[in-house]
């Protein structure tokens, strides 16, 4: 049997520690051998005492991915990524993982039953899987693509993610600032939990996800104590306003003292992304806006440069940033009423807590538009002034 896990989420990936796939056998099946992955427990194989013991005799096995340095004879195609799955929109070639296994104890009945109770940890909770159902048999290639073969049977299940299951509290928040107002709109207080420690305390403990049957201290995040108590903060700063363009600085800060974020991504909803957009220090792409009222842009790090959001240190937080240049739609662009501020922001697929609109940095009354000055108009004023007074 060959099992493939395909991540179709556009902007949600499976991070370090990796996926774990579990199920319950319908009868008394055993896994005789595996390639490309391994069962975390062998279980009770005492009934095979005079035979080569199976790889796993567990009624409900849990399978984990092998690392990339696995032996070549144990590496079928598509395996061995250490449990990592890339987001579909960022790297579709690394958004899937496969493994193979030989199943025993099937009996003489040719109608093999599908397993039940499929579970997916990626790496923590959050995914709920449908029933495993029959589908059209898979057709695959052999002999270098010269011959097509058809599987005997194919089953499939769809697993969907819920932030409410995965996290007891939000994991990120958004702060805002502009060039036209000195006020900085901070993350809302208690965005990801309330600060219980003394104001002079530097580090706080924040509960993260918990793995089943684990009481490890690793289930907790040690973060810098803040009023928002979020492990990650996204800051949107409106830098400049040109005649045909406007510029934003986007900064992502990590307040975790012991956790890096590998292959992070940020999704931003904003009507300004309907125009040409250039990010100078991040990769970026526009996504279909189905399900969103405004355009959405996806940003992620450049490999070997800033694709790792480093953990915080005692005197500073880990951070990555970029400037973003956006072309104006002159019919819709305005700095009034917070139009230039983002509508929603997601970090690694998690919805970040936004400030309330009444806290947004507003235009000062003395300059309601702050339209860029036309240099031709300036020149005309200067020439007129010079001619009148010379």
Per-residue pLDDT of the chain (390 residues; tens, 9 = 90+): 999 999 999 999 999 999 999 999 999 999 999 999 999 999 999 988 878 899 999 999 999 999 999 998 899 999 999 999 999 999 999 999 999 999 998 877 767 899 999 999 999 899 999 999 999 999 988 887 889 999 989 999 999 999 988 888 899 999 999 999 999 999 999 999 998 767 778 888 876 554 444 444 455 789 999 999 999 999 999 999 999 999 999 999 999 999 999 999 999 999 999 999 999 999 999 998 776 778 999 999 999 999 999 999 988 899 999 999 999 999 999 999 999 999 999 999 999 999 999 999 998 864 444 455 444 433 333 333 333 333
Token duo for residue 306: 């800033």
Question: Is the backbone peptide bond immediately before 294 cis, with ω within 30 degrees of 0?
Answer: no
- Residue finishing a domain among 163, 195, 218: 163
- Kindly state whether residue 213 falls inside one of the protein's structural domains: yes
- Kindly state whether residue 130 falls inside one of the protein's structural domains: yes
For residue 274, report the phi and psi dihedrals to the nearest 5 degrees: -70, -15
Token duo for residue 217: 């201290």
> Which residue has 């579990």 as its token pair?
22
pLDDT score for 300:
98
* Chain mean position to CA 367: 40
pLDDT score for 386:
39
3-state helix, strand, coil in the chain (%, to 5): 10, 40, 50
Q: How many Cα atoms are found within 13 Å in the side-chain-facing hemisphere of 331?
A: 2
Q: Specify whether 138 is located in the same domain as 240.
A: no
Angstrom CA distances, 32 to 23, 37, 53, 54, 175, stand at 16, 13, 8, 4, 54
- Tell me, what DSSP letter sits at residue 358? G
For residue 357, report the phi and psi dihedrals to the nearest 5 degrees: -55, -30
Q: Specify whether 129 is located in the same domain as 230.
A: no
182 vs 29: CA distance, rounded Å? 67
Number of residues that make up the chain: 390
pTM beyond 0.75, yes or no: yes
Q: Specify whether 97 is located in the same domain as 80.
A: yes
Measuring CA to CA, which residue among 263, 209, 250, 230 is closest to residue 351?
230
Q: Specify whether 159 is located in the same domain as 204.
A: no
Q: Specify whether 234 is located in the same domain as 319.
A: yes
Q: What radius of gyration, in Å, describes the C-alpha atoms of the chain?
A: 27
Instruction: Determine the 3-state secondary structure of 341 from DSSP.
Output: coil
Dihedral class, residue 18 (left if φ above 0, else alpha if ψ from -120 to 50, else beta): left
Q: What is the CATH number of the domain that holds 357?
A: 2.60.40.290
Measuring CA to CA, which residue among 363, 272, 372 is closest to residue 325?
272
CB 51, CB 113: distance < 8 Å: no
- Kindly state whether residue 13 falls inside one of the protein's structural domains: yes
- Residue finishing a domain among 122, 140, 163: 163
Instruction: Determine the 3-state secondary structure of 130 from DSSP.
Output: coil
Indicate if the alpha-carbon torsion angle 129, 125, 191, 11 is positive or negative: negative
Q: How many Cα atoms are found within 13 Å in the side-chain-facing hemisphere of 215?
A: 0
Q: Specify whether 138 is located in the same domain as 284.
A: no
Q: Specify whether 232 is located in the same domain as 302.
A: yes
- Kindly state whether residue 385 falls inside one of the protein's structural domains: no
pLDDT score for 212:
44
Q: Specify whether 198 is located in the same domain as 344.
A: yes
290 vs 293: CA distance, rounded Å? 8
Give the structural domain span for 282: 169-375
- Residue finishing a domain among 163, 193, 208: 163
Which runs of consecutive H residues, i.e. helices, occur in 212-358?
none
Q: Specify whether 289 is located in the same domain as 148.
A: no
Q: Specify whether 144 is located in the same domain as 255.
A: no
Domain count, the chain: 2
CB 298, CB 285: distance < 8 Å: yes
Token duo for residue 375: 């240099």
Instruction: Determine the 3-state secondary structure of 385 from DSSP.
Output: helix
Q: Specify whether 112 is located in the same domain as 78.
A: yes
Q: Specify whether 206 is located in the same domain as 143.
A: no
């Amino acid at each position: 049997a060959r099992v493939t896990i395909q991540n179709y989420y556009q902007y949600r990936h499976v991070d370090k520690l990796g996926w774990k796939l579990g199920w319950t056998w319908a009868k008394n099946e055993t896994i005789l051998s595996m390639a490309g992955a391994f069962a975390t427990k062998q279980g009770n194989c005492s009934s095979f005492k005079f035979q080569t013991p199976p790889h796993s005799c567990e009624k409900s096995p849990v399978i984990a991915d092998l690392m990339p340095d696995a032996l070549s004879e144990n590496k079928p195609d598509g395996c061995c990524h250490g449990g990592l799955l890339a987001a579909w929109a960022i790297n579709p070639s690394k958004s899937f993982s496969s493994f193979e296994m030989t199943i025993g104890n099937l009996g003489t009945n040719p109608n093999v039953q599908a397993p039940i109770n499929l579970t997916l940890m990626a790496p923590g909770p959050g995914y709920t899987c449908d029933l495993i159902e029959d589908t059209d048999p898979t057709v695959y290639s052999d002999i270098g693509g010269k011959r097509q073969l058809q599987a005997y049977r194919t089953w499939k299940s769809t697993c969907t993610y819920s932030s409410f299951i995965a996290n007891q509290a939000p994991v990120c928040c958004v702060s805002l600032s502009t060039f036209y107002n000195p006020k900085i709109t901070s993350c809302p207080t208690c965005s990801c939990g309330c600060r219980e420690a003394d104001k002079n305390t530097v580090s706080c403990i924040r509960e993260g996800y918990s793995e089943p049957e684990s009481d490890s201290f690793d289930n907790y995040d040690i973060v810098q104590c803040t009023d928002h108590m979020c492990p990650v903060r996204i800051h949107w700063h409106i830098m400049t306003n040109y005649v045909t363009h406007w510029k934003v600085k986007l900064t992502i800060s990590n307040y975790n003292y012991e956790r890096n974020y590998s292959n992070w991504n940020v999704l931003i909803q904003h009507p300004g992304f309907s125009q040409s957009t250039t990010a100078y220090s991040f990769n970026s792409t526009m996504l279909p806006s189905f399900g969103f009222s405004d355009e959405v842009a996806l940003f992620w790090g450049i490999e070997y440069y800033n694709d790792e959001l480093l953990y915080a240190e005692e005197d500073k937080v880990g951070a990555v940033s970029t400037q973003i240049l956006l072309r104006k739609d002159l019919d819709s662009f305005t700095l009034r009423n917070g139009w230039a501020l983002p509508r929603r922001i997601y970090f690694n697929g998690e919805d970040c807590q936004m400030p309330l609109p009444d806290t947004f940095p507003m235009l000062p009354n003395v300059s309601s538009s702050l339209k860029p000055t036309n240099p031709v108009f300036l020149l005309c004023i200067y020439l007129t002034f010079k001619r009148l007074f010379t």
